[in-house]
Amino acid sequence: MIENEITTRATALFGIVDGIYKMLIDWGISPVLAGWLDEVISMAILFLLAYLVDRISRFILHRVMARVVRFTSNTWDDILVEQKVFKHIAHIFPGIVFFLCAPIALKSEFWVTIFEKGALIFILFTIIRAIHAATKAMTKIFTQTGDYSNKPVQIIFQIVAVLAYFIGVIALLSILLDASFATLFAGLGASMAILLLVFKDTILGFVAGWQLSANDMLRQGDWITVPKYGADGDVIDVSLYSVKVRNFDNTITTVPPYALVSDSFQNWRGMQESGGRRIKRSIIIDMTSIRFCTPEMIERFRKIKYLTEYIDKTEEVIRRFNEENKTDDTMLVNGRRQTNIGVFRAYIQKYLENHPEVNHEMTTMVRQLQPTEKGIPMELYFFTKVKDWVYYENVQSDIFDHIMAVVPQFDLRVFQFPSSKDAISSPYNE
């Protein structure tokens, strides 16, 4: 019924076209020239009609919609207009008119076939462009939504766009070859190996993107480190084909999504969401400077603010132990005694526990590591309150500035390789 009605109206509309040939003959034009002019004038009328339909549809769907969405409180419709989704949809209608009216306006089977195929191809490309614009709009809409702002939703809509282009290519071949769409689609099985090779990156990106999204391994805005690709910075874009990372030197590194799944990478999101940022650094103490504390050293250490209570309690525990075990105090190796490195370790622990920039609700620890040929590493393990990079580095530097400066106060030495100055001042050179 609908097709018959459209055909009837189109026939009435092009009734004047049917009389063009007779009118040209009445003017005394030869039948051959009249037939040629008839086709030219019919084509011109057909193009004019399609142009008018295009202008009307664009005015209604694009300009009118652009004015209507200004009065709505939603933002998604503004984004659809901004991405010209309605404008692309409007271009479909002149293609439909061209396809339906070509057999009526033209008498030549050749030109009818050409125009029909051209109209179908135009409609196909317009639909694909509309879908592509819609996927871009949906990506922008979802990224502005709180629940999806950090999700890689762009990958999902890019997959939709790729599928649309893939189906569009098959449909284009179907139009050009006058073959069934189902037949061509089924025939792809024989050339699947070639397709897999051509779309290898797309398929790998699709699988990797799905894994990254499903397992919440990566979000836009995450700080990641990928040593293999030299990436160390914030994720600014996650797409089907690449993950863009803005490094801290403001360079951009592009990493394939499947590389993040097949290889290892470090995501600092856990640190950013936690209560602090970890500092784990050691200073190396020269083992030749370690010794038992003398009474003079104990009295000197007792005057240090953070050690007064510690020295008193430890000395009382040692005194009781030595008395209970009747230790011979004439030999330093007998019984229990404090060492300068032990007192130094206790000082660092108290210093960190009282530092205003250290998160005291998280682990704070000072420990000795395995001695090496360079000395004994004294490791500090704690967390800062604020995770900002500049703040973190400043706190870390301030703490180690202080610790390095107080090492000599405990009659200890920090190990470092001899320099040329040490060689010059050596007693062997005197």
Share of the chain above pLDDT 90, in %: 23
User: Which of the two residues, 107 and 266, has the higher pLDDT score?
Assistant: 266
pLDDT tens-digit profile of 281-305?
999 999 999 999 988 999 999 999 8
Q: What is the pLDDT of residue 3?
A: 45
Q: What is the mean pLDDT of residues 188-201?
A: 65
Return the closest-CA partner of residue 256 out of 274, 268, 272, 238: 238
Task: Classify residue 230 as left (phi > 0), alpha (psi -120 to 50) or beta.
Answer: left
Half-sphere exposure of 394 (CA within 13 A, CB side): 8
Q: What is the pLDDT of residue 9?
A: 45
**Cβ-based neighbour number of residue 66 at 10 Å:** 17
Q: What is the pLDDT of residue 313?
A: 92
Share of the chain above pLDDT 70, in %: 76
Q: What is the mean pLDDT of residues 167-177?
A: 83
Residue carrying the six token digits 């076939």: 113
Q: What is the mean pLDDT of residues 231-242?
A: 82
Q: What is the mean pLDDT of residues 348-375?
A: 92
Highest mean pLDDT out of 89-98, 217-226, 316-325, 349-358: 349-358
- Residue 153 reports pLDDT greater than 60: yes
Q: How confident is the model at residue 122 (pLDDT cuts 50, 70, 90)?
A: confident
- Residue 6 reports pLDDT greater than 60: no
End-to-end CA distance of the chain: 116
Residue carrying the six token digits 């009526």: 104
- Residue 29 reports pLDDT greater than 80: no
Sorted by sequence, the CB contacts under 8 Å of residue 115 that are 6+ apart come out as: 46, 98, 99, 102, 106
User: Which of the two residues, 413 and 195, has the higher pLDDT score?
Assistant: 413
pLDDT tens-digit profile of 36-95?
566 677 777 777 877 888 888 877 776 777 677 677 767 776 777 777 777 778 888 888
- The residue ranges of every structural domain in the chain are 2-149, 277-325+334-418
Distances (CA, A) of 121 to 10, 44, 49, 149, 238: 21, 20, 18, 37, 32
Give the least confident one: 127-131, 331-335, 389-393: 331-335
Q: Of how many residues is the chain composed?
A: 430
Q: How confident is the model at residue 428 (pLDDT cuts 50, 70, 90)?
A: very low
